[in-house]
Chain A
Amino acid sequence: MTGILGNPLFIEGYLTTLALTAGAMLASLFIGTLVASLRVWGGPIMRSLTGAYVEFFRNTPLLVQLLFIVVLLAPSNLGVTRDPLVAALFGLSVYTGAYVTEVVRSGILAVDPRQIEAARTLGLSQAQALRHVVLPQAIRTVIPPLGNLSIALVKNSAIAGGIAATDLLQVARILEARPPFTFDPFIAALFAYWTITIPLAWAVSRLERRLAFAR
């Protein structure tokens, strides 16, 4: 068992999963905030279009999305990349971004517009009002759900193996099929996932309690 944990391929898989999760989380934050802003402040047309994006990507399986994207980005089509990891990053970001959009949107909407009015009458510009009044409150609403999304993202990253990206689970499959054919790689992979998801879940629940208390 300890042999697996020291195996360079295994470590590479673990780091890949971490990188994939972190990268996708960042990218989806960016996408989500952008789309949420469009959704809240864009016109009715923009609301419908962004709504279509959100609903479509939330209600279709991630694996199907990845299978589509990896071929779309392949050299014989759009020619963006042949690396399944990049395709996975892309797919995970777009998928999670749809969820982040809704979270950020409700975070923005949770702030009473009258506070913005009040801020304006006190002499703050729109930008200042957003930064000093809306943002702090929105962030408090938004952080726990985002934390939960990141936990979900760690678990979803395992699906990247379906398009042959060498993440932790894919590495487990590869190692298990090599001599001496023990099941240890999968046990090791389970533990490895738990080292990420369980602390994350703990942190999120601590955060939730603190924020709820502070209210």
Chain B
Amino acid sequence: MYKRVAILTALVMTVAACSPGPGAGGTSGTGSSPGTSPGTDGSPATSPGGDASPGATPTMVVVEGVSTPESIQQEGTLTCGVKFDVVGFGFRNPTNSEIEGFDADICREIAAELGVEAELIEAVSANRIPFLNERRVDLVISTFTINDERREQIDFSRPYYIAGQSILAKTDNTEINSVEDLNGKNVCSATGSTSETNVREQAPEANLVLFATYTEAGQALDDGRCDAVSTDDVILFGLIDAYPDTELKGEPFTTEEYGIGMKKDSAELKAFVDDVLAEMDEDGRFMELWNENIGDYTDKEPVLPPES
């Protein structure tokens, strides 16, 4: 019997040795990002928000033409892709099915400026660029991190939020105030996230406890198995929502800029959107929406970041 095993093992070994190298096939997302936790019935579901997934998804369909302020006004609707499961930015309220959040509200403001209705549809991370290319949406306001790779495929507005990896700990924990303080402590995060890598780099003596989802990490913080949870502050907002006796500690130690995504060569629309954002900042609407949606979770200044 064991002869068979040996033969088969040898076969498997040869196959494995000849297997293609690094991540053949664009990242499907499940391999290198933590699983999304269930978003049914009122759970404060958290999903990887401003992700920095390596490799953009190859787009299949590209529809001709771009949206412009006129075309949108003619249609009568501004369609935006937003997240439905990120507390504070794009979140579907289970009790009334309303989409709440900073991103959602910005879409509504832009629509109001155009004098049209706002339509919000769900854009999960993998769909953001395809939806733009298919012209299924006019704008993507979905905790969308600006980076060079994406710039090659789509256009971005000026940044409207600076996210960063932060630390969440119990409010009465006075020992943790910066990333260095994480050394020697139990830090929870999710397997396969850039967050995990960043902590290892900046606090090599930290004891990383890795779960499949951030919801579990939050649970472990709550019952004392972890001293802190570290990931993008945007995701941490959702955890603060679920566990009110926690707060963000110290400054973010990485930075990522969120921008509004548009189809490539949308110069007119970009100019319009950038103007609206600047106006909102000047007349206080920006600050108002900020405070309403994420003011409780963060001490950051409610101002529009400078153009990059």
Contact = CB atoms under 8 A, between A and B. Distances in A.
Interface of A: 1, 70-71, 74-77, 79, 82, 84, 162, 164, 166, 170, 173-174, 176-184, 187, 190-191, 194, 198, 202, 205
B17 A76 contact: no
A194 B9 contact: yes
B17 A177 contact: no
B219 A71 contact: yes
A71 B223 contact: yes
Contact of A187 (B2, B16, B224): B16
Given A70-B225, A74-B223, A74-B225, 4 more contacts: A164-B220, A170-B191, A177-B31, A180-B23
Interface in B1-36: 1-2, 5, 9, 12-13, 16-17, 19, 21-23, 27, 31-32
16 contacts: A1-B17, A70-B225, A74-B220, A164-B210, A164-B211, A164-B216, A164-B220, A173-B192, A183-B19, A184-B16, A184-B19, A187-B16, A187-B19, A190-B12, A191-B9, A198-B5
B222 interface: yes
A202 B5 CA distance: 11
B32 A177 contact: yes
Contacts of A77: 223
A75 B2 CA distance: 47
A182 B23 contact: yes
Contacts of B32: 177, 181
B23 A74 contact: no
B294 to A, nearest CB: 28
B209 interface: yes
Counting from the closest, the 6 A-B pairs by CB-CB distance are: A177-B192, A75-B224, A74-B223, A181-B23, A76-B223, A180-B22
B197 interface: yes
Nearest to A166: B210
A67 B74 CA distance: 55
Interface of B: 1-2, 5, 9, 12-13, 16-17, 19, 21-23, 27, 31-32, 54, 186, 188, 191-193, 196-197, 209-212, 216, 219-220, 222-226
Nearest to B226: A82
A174 B197 contact: no
Contacts of A79: 224
B209 A180 contact: no
Contact of A176 (B12, B31, B196, B219): B31
Contact of B210 (A174, A180, A194): A174
A79 B225 CA distance: 10
B225 A82 contact: yes
A191 B54 CA distance: 29
A75 B225 contact: yes
A178 B194 CA distance: 9
A71 B212 CA distance: 16
A164 B224 contact: no
Contacts of B222: 76
Contacts of B5: 198
Contact of A1 (B16, B211, B225, B226): B16
A74 B31 contact: no
Contacts of B31: 176-177, 181
A49 B224 CA distance: 33
A1 B2 CA distance: 24
A205 B196 CA distance: 44
B223 A177 contact: no
A97 B195 CA distance: 39
A1 B191 CA distance: 21
